[in-house]
Structure 1
């Protein structure tokens, strides 16, 4: 045992020294690349504070470490084989691999700098795609400083090679191959591999490494400087090729535009019913995790699951035929706060170069004098949400990192009552008018909540109902305390779910019941004659931005996919996507279509003819085709 321990310690020093020196080399090299990127865009430094620019190095470190982890996998494997079967060629192989990767990273970094100068975006799959057109690509490069870029690329390659050979030189000496030594090497290889996996993933948290980790500033240049160019390109290519063959072309562009104009009311006047007593209220959006209509008694569900919500509904305006645009939180966030529907490509939040093209409700309100803030009890880096919140111009972003360790009692972060307490505390000091959005967390799996059990049973439906009931109780406490605040009487509250759920009734994943969610407008700013009313218009989350802007007499045109719910001339419909397809809903009409198999799943023509059902399908196809065209152009 003593011999094994000594062997393990000796070999451990060798293994850890190898991985540490090799990773450190890449980390220093990435710092150099980032510095060159910043200097290349020196004109940006006139408008971005120096401290913010320096922050790019700090916030980019974790992505640099992830990239170094990827690059270290092959050398670690070669080193491990070398410790078992020493070879004089090992050093040459690792040096050759590293030299090749250095030149590749230098090329990516240099290309990224010029693409950013020309397009204002990081090097991505769209830019790579233009290599299919070499003549046009060369033409577009005519104004680029080719000689300077070549010099930078060569300089970065040589500097990296010098760092590797002279500063971070590796030792390839190998000791004996006794039994205890060989066993130690196997164990250490597994341990070091685990370290690289942690580096690649970004740690042990729920959120794996994503571009949101680099977003920290309202200055997009600083965020882009923090993004490792090589890592970002790999990430973008991965998401691009995921659905590269799905073009969703069902008709001519002329027919598509004709149908979209009719759907979105392009040729009809916008005649808005004003429901507020003021055009400048405070606005609080409460996004409720997984709150399906199947837990809302006032929407026909079992009574008692969310009784306080029903109390609020009796004094507000409740929409009874309202739907989520997708099935994940990131889909709902994009729809609610940007008016952008979900696409089969996945959430636009996962594509930063596209997400940055979105208009945002917070940005519009901030430009009109509103203070803005966002609150989430979990990790905002999860599913790339942080990058979106920064882009949205939220001036204050609060997540679980802002709370004390004693409050982190949920698997995801802090429970809802703690989040609500923080919101109230902050808003008591907030200047008016303000726009504050928050996302609850406790009704997310595993449904563990700090409350005595109300719905008995350990089955998923019972646990889910308990979790919703807990959030409902937290809402009551929140509103009871909010009513004591001076800002309460001038505040519009919007309560909406981020998405629906198959629970508690085990709904089918594709059917509308799975996507039907509550939307409630509440507050003293709502006209008294409208309080306690229900609206049966068919709508979805993406309709919220235009609806809010219209009530504030603000332009809503930039939210091109948002259909004002209070426009008396609106065409009532909802569109949502599920895995492998989409649904188009109108009043009394449901069409589900599988985009993978290109076939209809369901046509439920409760109030229309088969011919009208076919027209609804064509409308849905036109909607998806146009949506995907815009998404692809972003």
Structure 2
């Protein structure tokens, strides 16, 4: 080591032994600037990566979003620099520059990693990081890692993250060198001066983290919703903060994300009964159960069927279905089938995750705040009054055919507890046409096996019901090498997704071609429905309606003669079970949170309560062509909407229906939540009795 290097080393050591408040604050302030720039760059990357969502939104709107985003970023930065702020009271702590560099580099690197992860997360879900991250982490790690490895450029992202981390290290090292006090500078201030400085800095940090000088609550999620562009509003949030908030809700013992009661119990229950109990219903156990009733459908509404087949199509978004007005010929087989049955044109999933589609469709229970992953919670062990209970009581045989592993989402545990007995999953297929390492066999394999299983059930001579669930239209979209359909082009980043959707549609068509040749076909009601939609470049309201809009097609002998070819009645997946029971006929005691859509009073527009995946409490009530959205934080908003080819939304201010719709939404969620917690959701009362 040369003489000059020795001198520099000694000077550096001397400076470390004489830290000052001013040098420490300079180091902290420059680090704040660096972190703020990093978060803005992450927001810019998210904006560029998802630029297809810009649409016709003016640039000024996104400028506003970036400015709003800085308010959320500063809160996150305050959390990151908190240890440095409190270090000002200790001369020794201020001298730990190596520790502070490591802390800043590590935390900034972690948030950088989350920012890289969020680019594809937002493209897929149109949401900032939320509890879905923890949901996937809690599932089978092997499947999750396989999905990520085959679905995204993992190596490229990791390399970019490593380079960014190295650059962050160099940046904080440079800030460290630039703010070190000189060896001959003043000594550290007295303790009482340092305490006074700490108090001033803490007050400044609290004001910055609060994000607003208004009275009342600090900066809230809803404060980012300042524009008419959902993409811009979401850009205004901070993904790391959103994830922290989701973690607080998910792992809180108080289950803070469960809906809090806002109405008297009796008032909410009576409102729900007005919403759900129809003229042909008779309430039973009214003191214990909210909406348990005996349903006797009119004889002229039944159909000559004895078997039921429900087909749950993965990510079958109504926005891209030709029969609902979409161009591109993405779903030619479904479009052809729709001419043979009854198609609902304003239909919605109850959630945006397959998990919610399964229990809403088969157990006719809504997707509630705090119970988005109901099948994996203790309450998921309760008895519901869905298709398994109602048809098992009538001695129906059953089968559930699925491409993948039934351990995912606790499907086998949940549905076995509800009454299903036969499960055909990925390990039960012999010599499939295609099997990917993530999810399992292809949709054409699943449907081919479905045909075989239905023929076997018919051979028993007993009535049966079946659930057939597709999976190929899911990341990583692993499809057979030699596709039986033409790949979709012209949709940018959605080309691969829509190609998988076209392949699933083809597989559905092959299933029906074979089913029509089977003797059971003429005695069966088929229900084809999407489990949820997916993100599109066009977003309708902050609820992103296209992620909920799915087709519902009912095919059965004589259905068009009695009910026509299309219906614009609003409905959701929880209406499927009572609609099926209405076609089978006979008295059905149930406690479904939906209604028979083919036996509604004259002029009834239909309604549906929807909620996205994640831990947020933002919910909506769709009523006819109007939707009321109640955000977790923020004002209630009402829109008129239109789906199909000429889609669009119009904000409605001060509508007289708003208070009534809000009361219905709150009553519905409050009463359903209470019923779930009280374990009174089944056909019979399961509530523990007082001894």
- TM-score range normalised by the length of the shorter chain: 0.5 to 0.7
Task: Tell me the residue number matched to 1:573.
Answer: 607
Contact 1:501-1:507 within 8 A present in 2 as well: no
Q: Determine which of 429, 436, 453 is the counterpart of 1:409.
A: 436
Q: Report SS of the residue matched to 2:590.
A: coil
Contact 1:317-1:531 within 8 A present in 2 as well: yes
Counterpart-to-counterpart distance in 2, 1:616 and 1:200: 36
Task: Tell me the residue number matched to 1:526.
Answer: 558
Residues 40-82 of structure 1, C-alpha deviations (whole Å, 9 max, x = no match): xxxxxxxxxxxxxxxxxxxxxxxxxxxxxxxxxxxxxxxxxxx
Q: Determine which of 260, 263, 270 is the counterpart of 1:251.
A: 263
Task: Tell me the residue number matched to 2:574.
Answer: 542
Q: Report SS of the residue matched to 1:448.
A: coil
Task: Tell me the residue number matched to 1:25.
Answer: none
2:312 is the counterpart of 1:287:
yes
Task: Tell me the residue number matched to 2:535.
Answer: 502
Counterpart-to-counterpart distance in 2, 1:275 and 1:463: 45
Task: Tell me the residue number matched to 2:619.
Answer: 582
Q: Which runs of 5+ in 2 are unaligned?
A: 1-136, 147-248, 282-294, 642-649, 680-691
Contact 1:584-1:591 within 8 A present in 2 as well: yes
Q: Which runs of 5+ in 1 are unaligned?
A: 1-198, 209-236
Alignment of 1:203-352 (within 5 A): 204-206=142-144, 241=253, 243-244=255-256, 246-265=258-277, 272=297, 278-345=303-370, 346-352=372-378
Contact 2:399-2:453 within 8 A present in 1 as well: no
Per the alignment, do residues 275 and 503 of structure 1 end up closer, same or farther by CA in structure 2, a change over 3 Å counting?
A: farther
Task: Tell me the residue number matched to 1:511.
Answer: 544
2:465 is the counterpart of 1:438:
no
Counterpart-to-counterpart distance in 2, 1:626 and 1:207: 39
TM-score, normalised to structure 1's length?
0.59
Counterpart-to-counterpart distance in 1, 2:473 and 2:640: 32
Per the alignment, do residues 242 and 336 of structure 1 end up closer, same or farther by CA in structure 2, a change over 3 Å counting?
A: farther
Q: Determine which of 618, 636, 654 is the counterpart of 1:600.
A: 636
Shift of 1:328: 0.8
Contact 1:315-1:532 within 8 A present in 2 as well: no
Q: Report SS of the residue matched to 1:428.
A: helix
2:467 is the counterpart of 1:422:
no
Contact 1:288-1:497 within 8 A present in 2 as well: yes
Counterpart-to-counterpart distance in 1, 2:385 and 2:251: 22
Counterpart-to-counterpart distance in 1, 2:503 and 2:566: 25
Per the alignment, do residues 608 and 493 of structure 1 end up closer, same or farther by CA in structure 2, a change over 3 Å counting?
A: farther
Shift of 1:436: 0.8
Contact 2:311-2:526 within 8 A present in 1 as well: yes
Task: Tell me the residue number matched to 2:286.
Answer: none
Counterpart-to-counterpart distance in 2, 1:618 and 1:394: 36
Q: Report SS of the residue matched to 1:334.
A: helix
Query: How many matched pairs?
Result: 406
Shift of 1:463: 1.1
Alignment of 1:462-481 (within 5 A): 462-481=495-514
Per the alignment, do residues 620 and 398 of structure 1 end up closer, same or farther by CA in structure 2, a change over 3 Å counting?
A: same
Shift of 1:543: 0.7
2:619 is the counterpart of 1:619:
no
Shift of 1:272: 4.5
Alignment of 1:12-411 (within 5 A): 204-206=142-144, 241=253, 243-244=255-256, 246-265=258-277, 272=297, 278-345=303-370, 346-404=372-430, 407-409=434-436, 411=438
Shift of 1:457: 6.0
Per the alignment, do residues 633 and 370 of structure 1 end up closer, same or farther by CA in structure 2, a change over 3 Å counting?
A: same
Residues 441-473 of structure 1, C-alpha deviations (whole Å, 9 max, x = no match): 011112232215421269431111111110111
Q: Report SS of the residue matched to 1:575.
A: strand
Counterpart-to-counterpart distance in 2, 1:200 and 1:513: 27
Contact 2:607-2:624 within 8 A present in 1 as well: yes
Counterpart-to-counterpart distance in 1, 2:381 and 2:399: 19
Per the alignment, do residues 509 and 381 of structure 1 end up closer, same or farther by CA in structure 2, a change over 3 Å counting?
A: farther
Shift of 1:571: 6.5
Shift of 1:387: 1.0
Contact 1:305-1:465 within 8 A present in 2 as well: yes
Counterpart-to-counterpart distance in 1, 2:579 and 2:591: 10
Counterpart-to-counterpart distance in 2, 1:411 and 1:356: 31
Q: Report SS of the residue matched to 1:537.
A: coil
Residues 176-204 of structure 1, C-alpha deviations (whole Å, 9 max, x = no match): xxxxxxxxxxxxxxxxxxxxxxx997662
Contact 2:317-2:532 within 8 A present in 1 as well: yes
Per the alignment, do residues 374 and 271 of structure 1 end up closer, same or farther by CA in structure 2, a change over 3 Å counting?
A: closer
Per the alignment, do residues 419 and 246 of structure 1 end up closer, same or farther by CA in structure 2, a change over 3 Å counting?
A: closer
Counterpart-to-counterpart distance in 2, 1:543 and 1:528: 19
